[in-house]
Copies of this chain bind each other. A is one copy, B any other.
Amino acid sequence: MTEQPARPTSRDVARAAGVSQATVSLVLGDKWRGRVSERTAGLVRDAAHALEYRPNLAARSLRLGTTRTALLVVPALTNEFFARVYTGAAEVAAEHGFGVVLYPSPAGVGPARDPFASARAALDGVIASSMATQALDAIRGADLPLVMLDSDPDAPGAAARVNLDIADGIRQVTEHLLALGHRRLLHLASAISSWTFDIRATALAEAVRNVPDAVVRTVSAPLDVGAGREATERALSAPGPRPTALVCDDDILAAGACKAVRRLGLRVPEDISVTGFDDLALATAIEPELTTVSLPAERVGERGMSALLAVLDGRRPEPGDLPVSLVVRASTAPPPRDA
C-alpha cells in the first residue's frame, strides 16, 4: 500500500559502515570482543542507528532455530487474574528479549482451529495454567519445555511448576472465621479442576480439625456471579441450621454469595460473613468490601516466565510456592448472638 521503503538489512548497514555483513552481525550481537576494533564497532553502531536498522526477526529465528517466543495458555483473559498473570509474564519476557503469545483456551476460540499446532514450530516453550485442561494434552505431545501454573505436583510432563500456596490461603481465612466465633461454614467451591478443588477442601478440613464443634458443608458452582448467587441461595434455604460464614473459592462467587444473602433478607456481615479469594478489583468494588485472600498474580506470571527461561538455559528454576495473604475487610464479623 504505502510503498514501504524496504527496511534496511544488516547488509545495508555493512555497506554504510564500509565493512562486511558478518562484522555487522558480530558487533550488533555483542560477540566482537577481540575480533573487531573498537573504532570499527563504533562505525557499525553509528550506521545501524542512522539507518534505524532493526534485525529481521524471522531471519534470526530461522538461523538460530529459536523464536524467543513463549505461549501462555490460560482459560480466559477476561478473568482479571489471568490478565495479571499475562502482564507479569510479558514483563520478564521483555526483559530477556522474549515475546509472549496467548492461547486463551479451546473455549475461547473455535474447537476446529488449533493455534497451538500452527504456532508450534514457532515456540520455544509453553506456560500453562492447569485450568486449561483441554489444551494440555495437545501440548504434551509437542515435547516443548512446559511450565505449569498451579498444578498438581503429581501431574506429568512439566519441566517446572509455579504454585501459589492456596492451602495456606484457605487456612488463613478459615482461622480468621473461627477466631471470630464462626462454627458452621459453607464452602462455595468453583468447579474448575479437581486438583484445586481437593487442595482447598482438604486445607479447609484440616483447619477446622481441632475445633470440635465446627462443621463444614460444600457446594460448588460455575465461576460467575449469577451462578454463585443461585448456588448460595439454594444452600442457605436448605433445611437444618444455617451456616454463619461462607468461604468462597473466588471473589466472583463471593459477590454472588453476597447478593444471595441479601435476597434472603439477611445482611453481610452482621448475619452472615462472606470471604472471597483472589483479591480482584471486584473485591473492593462491591459492598461490603470483601475479606479475601490476596494472590500475587503478576508474580505468578513472572515466576512462570523465569522458570521457562531457566529451563531453556539448562538452569534450575527457583523452587517454592508463592505466598498469599489474607486481607481483612468488611465482609466478615462475629456471627450473630442467637446462632
Chain A positions within 8 Å of B, measured between CB atoms, are 1-2, 4-5, 7, 54-59, 61-62, 67, 77-78, 80, 83-84, 86-87, 90-91, 94-95, 97, 99-102, 104, 108-110, 113, 115, 117-122, 143, 145, 159, 224-226, 252, 255-256, 258-259, 262, 281-282, 284-287, 311-312, 314
Inside 8 A of A122's CB, which chain B residues have their CB? 56-58
Residue of B nearest to A262 (CB): B287
Separation in Å of the A211 CB from the closest CB of chain B?
32
Separation in Å of the A270 CB from the closest CB of chain B?
16
CA distance A62 to B122 in the complex (A): 13
Separation in Å of the A84 CB from the closest CB of chain B?
6
CA distance A55 to B115 in the complex (A): 13
Inside 8 A of A61's CB, which chain B residues have their CB? 58
Asked if A287 and B314 sit within 8 Å, CB to CB, the answer is no
Asked if A87 and B95 sit within 8 Å, CB to CB, the answer is no
Asked if A94 and B113 sit within 8 Å, CB to CB, the answer is yes
Asked if B67 and A77 sit within 8 Å, CB to CB, the answer is no
Asked if A78 and B67 sit within 8 Å, CB to CB, the answer is no
* Contacting residue for A159 out of B1, B7, B284, CB 8 A: B1
Inside 8 A of A1's CB, which chain B residues have their CB? 145, 159, 311-312, 314
Given A62-B62, A121-B57, A143-B4, A226 and B284 touching (CB < 8 A)?
Answer: yes
Residue of B nearest to A5 (CB): B143
CA distance A77 to B122 in the complex (A): 24
Q: What are some 20 contacts across the A-B interface (CB < 8 A)?
A: A1-B159, A4-B143, A7-B121, A54-B118, A56-B62, A57-B119, A58-B67, A62-B62, A77-B87, A78-B84, A80-B80, A83-B83, A86-B104, A94-B109, A94-B115, A99-B119, A225-B284, A252-B285, A285-B286, A286-B286
Inside 8 A of A100's CB, which chain B residues have their CB? 102
Separation in Å of the A272 CB from the closest CB of chain B?
15
Inside 8 A of A120's CB, which chain B residues have their CB? 54
* Contacting residue for A58 out of B4, B58, B117, CB 8 A: B58
Asked if A90 and B113 sit within 8 Å, CB to CB, the answer is no
Known pairs A90-B102, A91-B110 / 19 extra A-B pairs, C-beta < 8 Å: A2-B143, A2-B145, A57-B58, A57-B121, A77-B87, A78-B87, A86-B104, A91-B108, A94-B109, A95-B113, A99-B115, A101-B101, A225-B284, A256-B285, A259-B287, A262-B287, A281-B282, A286-B286, A287-B287
CA distance A100 to B61 in the complex (A): 18
In the complex, the 8 A-B pairs of residues with the closest C-beta atoms, listed nearest first: A58-B61, A57-B122, A77-B83, A58-B62, A255-B285, A78-B83, A225-B285, A54-B121
CA distance A209 to B90 in the complex (A): 48
Separation in Å of the A328 CB from the closest CB of chain B?
18
CA distance A87 to B258 in the complex (A): 30
* Contacting residue for A118 out of B86, B97, B108, B311, CB 8 A: B97
CA distance A29 to B167 in the complex (A): 51
Residue of B nearest to A313 (CB): B1
Residue of B nearest to A60 (CB): B58
Inside 8 A of A285's CB, which chain B residues have their CB? 225, 252, 255-256, 282, 285-286
Asked if A121 and B159 sit within 8 Å, CB to CB, the answer is no
Residue of B nearest to A55 (CB): B121
